[in-house]
Amino acid sequence: MFRNVAELIEIAESKNKRISEIMIEQEMEFTGKSREEIIAQMDKNLEIMEQAVARGLEGVRSVSGLTGGDAVLLQRYIEKGNFLTGKNILDAVSKAVATNEVNAAMGTICATPTAGSAGVVPGTLFAVKDVLNPTREEMIQFLFTSGAFGFVVANNASISGAAGGCQAEVGSASGMAAAAIVEMAGGTPDQSAQAMAITLKNMLGLVCDPVAGLVEVPCVKRNAMGAANAMVAADMALAGIKSTIPCDEVIDAMYKIGQTMPTALKETAQGGLAATPTGRELEAKIFGVSLQKGD
């Protein structure tokens, strides 16, 4: 069993196997289940992700009214063809937003690694699907690869916004996605680790400040940026660019930053965007609470 990214890469390289395969073998050892059972469960997760993306792209709205419809707007924008970035990145962004809009609308999603960061992995997966044309098996492997890196983060740092801020949620999800994209694109295990490190480095210190305490604002749009971050980092790693700071040290840095982050910036809705005048007004409107003087 691997405990950190360095061990994961060493095992993958020494056995000449993909990271996804190492994760499958670890799951077999840990759960006692057969390979077929483990893959079947991940296939169900993939199906849930597919359904969430599809539903979000049809257009949904949350009960609070804070979020909804942005995934559709992005797809319409892509169709016009006059975008400034790139079609693949915008497609990933749109599908990440779609998933999180479904989450905000009380729909079914897969927590990857949390509900608040559930859009990044499927958003990028279904965007690169149209470019790389993977088999169903390869799409399932994508999820095992992302899960391997999520496993390391969860056991050495945190994937909880309440414990480590949004860097631990969307930051981790973005790194997981970047690593999986690299493997699907034919990159090496080390390049997957480099992609994870590059991604997470650029999300260190990201606070968790949900307006009105709801997983909507700014969560949905942070998933959008997390997806874009993952796509760019994957390309950088595939180009041969390396992170100066090793992946495990980046994860450790995230953990320590989370430990020193003020409580007001860790999912309490007491600081950041949640504490802005507009944030407080929205909270009062949603919950029918009168704002006190000085709030």
pLDDT in tens, 48-104: 999 999 999 999 999 999 999 999 999 999 999 999 999 999 999 999 999 999 999
* % residues pLDDT > 70 (the chain): 98
Token pair for 137:
């098996």
pLDDT above 60 for 8? yes
CA angle 167, 170, 176 (to 5 degrees): 105
Q: What is the pLDDT of residue 180?
A: 99
Residue at token pair 């009214």: 65
pLDDT category at 289 given cuts 50, 70, 90 is: confident
**Distances in Å between the alpha carbon of 27 and those of 3, 5, 196, 293?**
13, 16, 21, 54
Residue 123: how many CA atoms within 13 Å on its side-chain side? 42
Q: What is the pLDDT of residue 294?
A: 44
The tokens describing 81, both together, are 């063809």
pLDDT at residue 295, rounded to an integer: 46
Is 278 a residue whose pLDDT tops 70?
Answer: yes
Q: Which long-range contacts (CB under 8 A, 24 or more apart) does 135-141 make?
A: 136/43, 136/46, 138/184, 139/46, 140/39, 140/42, 140/43, 140/46, 141/18, 141/20, 141/21, 141/183, 141/184
The 3-state DSSP class for residue 266 equals strand
Q: How high is the pLDDT of residue 292?
A: 52
249-262 confidence digits (pLDDT tens): 999 999 999 999 99
Residue 157's pLDDT is 98
Cα distances (Å, whole numbers) of residue 224 to 49, 79, 221: 16, 18, 5
User: How many Å separate Cα 84 from the centre of its chain?
Assistant: 23
Give which of 143, 227, 225, 233 is closest to 184, Cα–Cα.
143
pLDDT category of residue 174 using cuts at 50, 70 and 90: very high
Name the pLDDT band for 1 (thresholds 50, 70, 90): confident
Question: Residue 293 has what pLDDT?
Answer: 43
Average model confidence (pLDDT) for the chain? 97
Q: What's the distance, Cα to Cα, between the start and end of the chain in Å?
A: 50
What pTM, to 2 d.p., does this model score? 0.96
- State the average pLDDT over residues 172-190: 98
Q: What is the pLDDT of residues 187-244, one digit of tens each?
A: 999 999 999 999 999 999 999 999 999 999 999 999 999 999 999 999 999 999 999 9
Return the residue matching tokens 């997806």.
227
Q: Would you say residue 291 has pLDDT above 70?
A: no
Cis peptide before 113 (omega within 30 of 0): yes
**What value does the mean pLDDT take over residues 148-156?**
98
